[in-house]
Structure 1
Amino acid sequence: MGISSGTIMTLIFSALLFFISLIAHRKRWWLTFYVTGSVAFMAAMIASFILTGFDITIMSIEAQNIAGTATLLGIKSVYLPPNAFIFQDPTGWSIFGIGFECSSLIEISVLISLLIFYPGYSRKSKVRYAFIGATMTYMANLIRMFTIIYIVNIFGKSAVYIAHAIIGKLIFFLFVILLYWYLLTRPTVNLVRNRIKAGKFE
């Protein structure tokens, strides 16, 4: 399987940012180091998913999980390899294909990258929170997709746009915002507050 030009550009972009992050670390430009390092790691993760075929594996697992869950809950659904499934709606059948953007791999990559370079956690905590965050993001995406199926199953194909572009995305991103608050924003606020109280804020 050949490497696409987009993947090559992503790898080049990642390498360039890693180089900048090394310079920023040496110069003690901590915010620059955090931003460039996180983005570089995220880009490298996404490129590695595509190069190894891990993205197809995850999308296939998601499609099978949703099809099986929908059937168990009374919405007849059939898995279509590698990353799609069909399910019943009021007028017949609808097909749902899971693409890279809908797989949650981008959101998982962003979260893990921000955690890996986050200075407020120990190495053990970073690994633990990265695992928890990735798992919860994956589950939230499954809930998003099942919500779309449930709405289309009741209201038909005319509800696809509202279910997918509005309700599904709203549910998913609200969850992601809450997760980011818990894992990144809240501890940062607490860290700054404690330093101010201790008179160690620089």
Structure 2
Amino acid sequence: MLYTTIFWICFSLWIYALSVLKRAKLAGFYFIVGSIGLFATCIFLFQDYLVWLFSAVLCRSLRPIGLFTGLFSTVNDNLIILKRPLETLYVYLDFECSGVIETTAFFGLIMFYPLYTRKERSFLALTGIAYIYFANFFRILLIVGVLQLGGSTWFYFVHSILGRLFFYVLIITLYYNVFTRSHIVQKYLQRLEPGATLA
């Protein structure tokens, strides 16, 4: 109850701060305050649901690959089971593995990024969320593949080092293209407009 009260007080102050910054035309501060506030709001209000949703979608997407290859099986929309000759490994898709942090952080940033129009931000938000999902999908596949080949002794390396390195290189690539090459992205989006010429 206390945390909920504190949240709604902070949420009200955030909305007020945004209105002040917008009237003052302080675009940089508006972007920073807006992004952080939206990220915090999404995490506080929707964390449990988003973790369940992302883990379930990820697990169900992996299920056909597990059935086809026979390398692993999925259980309860958040658990991957790998059966090896001498051991059985369990990979639990929790808050960290779900991609919720990266997705909500990107969503918060793009929704307040001042160099894009509202339509462009909406398109990039959907595209970015899909991109992050597939990056995470291939990260989990990488982790599962290495564990199936090397066993539990490889868990720390593949989960904490190799998997994260693979995932964050892809995330940095997304951020670099969306937030530092906005003129190129806008030119590309304009070509996707109905009736646009390719000149």
What band does the TM-score fall into relative to the shorter chain? 0.7 to 0.9
Shift of 1:9: 5.5
1:158 aligns with 2:134: no
Question: Counterpart in 1 of 2:46?
Answer: 49
Distance (whole Å) between structure 1 residues aligned to residue 134 and residue 82 of structure 2: 20
Distance (whole Å) between structure 1 residues aligned to residue 7 and residue 167 of structure 2: 26
Distance (whole Å) between structure 1 residues aligned to residue 139 and residue 6 of structure 2: 31
Question: Counterpart in 1 of 2:197?
Answer: none
Secondary structure at the aligned position of 1:96 is classed as strand
Distance (whole Å) between structure 1 residues aligned to residue 79 and residue 9 of structure 2: 31
Secondary structure at the aligned position of 1:94 is classed as strand
Distance verdict in 2 for CA 1:167–1:13, change over 3 Å: farther
1:185 aligns with 2:180: yes
Question: Counterpart in 1 of 2:165?
Answer: 170
Indicate which of 94, 99, 116 corresponds to 1:104: 99
1:18 aligns with 2:21: no
Contact 1:85 1:96 in 2 (8 A): yes
| Structure-1-length-normalised TM-score | 0.81
Distance verdict in 2 for CA 1:12–1:134, change over 3 Å: farther
Indicate which of 57, 60, 78 corresponds to 1:83: 78
Secondary structure at the aligned position of 2:115 is classed as coil
Question: Counterpart in 2 of 1:73?
Answer: 69
Shift of 1:134: 0.2
Spell out, residue by residue over 1:41-68, the C-alpha distance to the aligned partner (whole angstroms, 9 max, x if none).
Answer: 11122223236x2431221221222243
Unaligned runs of 5+ in 1: 192-202
Shift of 1:166: 0.3
Contact 2:36 2:108 in 1 (8 A): yes
Secondary structure at the aligned position of 2:81 is classed as strand
Distance verdict in 2 for CA 1:21–1:189, change over 3 Å: farther
Question: Counterpart in 2 of 1:199?
Answer: none
Count of residue pairs brought into register by the alignment: 186
Shift of 1:82: 4.1
Indicate which of 54, 60, 64 corresponds to 2:60: 64
Question: Counterpart in 2 of 1:194?
Answer: none
Question: Counterpart in 1 of 2:196?
Answer: none
Secondary structure at the aligned position of 1:182 is classed as helix
Unaligned runs of 5+ in 2: 187-199
1:32 aligns with 2:39: no
Secondary structure at the aligned position of 2:82 is classed as strand
Distance (whole Å) between structure 1 residues aligned to residue 115 and residue 134 of structure 2: 26
Distance (whole Å) between structure 1 residues aligned to residue 39 and residue 27 of structure 2: 18
